[in-house]
Amino acid sequence: MKRIAQILITIVAFLASAIAFDFIAALLVGDNIAGAFLSAFPGQAQLTYLDRYIGFMSSDTLGWFTYITLGVTQDLEIIAGGVTVIGPLLMYTPAISLPGATPQGLIPIMMEYHPWSSTPVYFMPALAWLLKLIGPFIVTGIVGGAVAKAKKDAMGNTFLAFLVIAIAGIVLNIVHVYMNWISVAWKFSATLTQNPAYVYFWGIYGILTPDMLGYIIGTSIVALVFAVINGLIISIISVIVARKK
């Protein structure tokens, strides 16, 4: 029973921190138009990230919570840079639409468009996205290690927490897709900022496709694979924290 409680605490830590870092990102981006790609929430056309986020949360609560839970599947490769594996499957091209933009990670973008550069407007959105990406992971790893009594438990608890959240996200995504398939507005533009691999399946099962089952299977596979990868990576943080006890 104690282990179940530890896993639940770790799950809550991720969900709470994911929401918290969304609001932190909103404060950093403000009305910076270069940060519009961060707030590509379906059906929201307000100026600021915060307004779009709250609008998404209130108008499509199921979609918003699916977006939060699928956060455990975010692709950490976005941090370092772009790679191409199996065509566009793992290629990330910055959505900040620079002339001749090439695949880059958040760190390279921040280095190139730093506050003292000729185009500093892109720095803050990249920083906000970086915090959104790694903040919840780090918090979850620390909490997972802190509540565990041994490093073995810390690794197992954190990994299981990621799997549970991912499975919940997959289930919610299936429900959301089933309820809204015929509507263009449901499409998860919000999740595309989390994992470039979703773009691959987006292209195959595009807005006008009738193949709902194929879309569900594809996105579910992506979510599960990256949840496993992220869970294993962040478990290392939990082990380090647990060893200090």
Task: Give the model confidence (pLDDT) of 16-54 as tens digits.
Answer: 999 999 999 889 888 776 666 676 777 777 778 888 888
Residue pointed to by tokens 């770790």: 10
Residue 80 has pLDDT above 60, yes or no: yes
Distances (CA, A) of 182 to 20, 63, 176, 177, 229: 32, 15, 11, 9, 33
**Residue 162: per-residue pLDDT:** 96
> In the predicted model, what is the mean pLDDT of the chain?
80
Residue 207 has pLDDT above 90, yes or no: no
pTM, full prediction: 0.85
Residue 91 has pLDDT above 70, yes or no: no
**φ and ψ at residue 100, rounded to 5 degrees:** 70, 30
* Nearest CA among 23, 71, 28, 68 for reference residue 50: 23
Where exactly are the structural domains of the chain? 3-241
**Residue 95: per-residue pLDDT:** 47
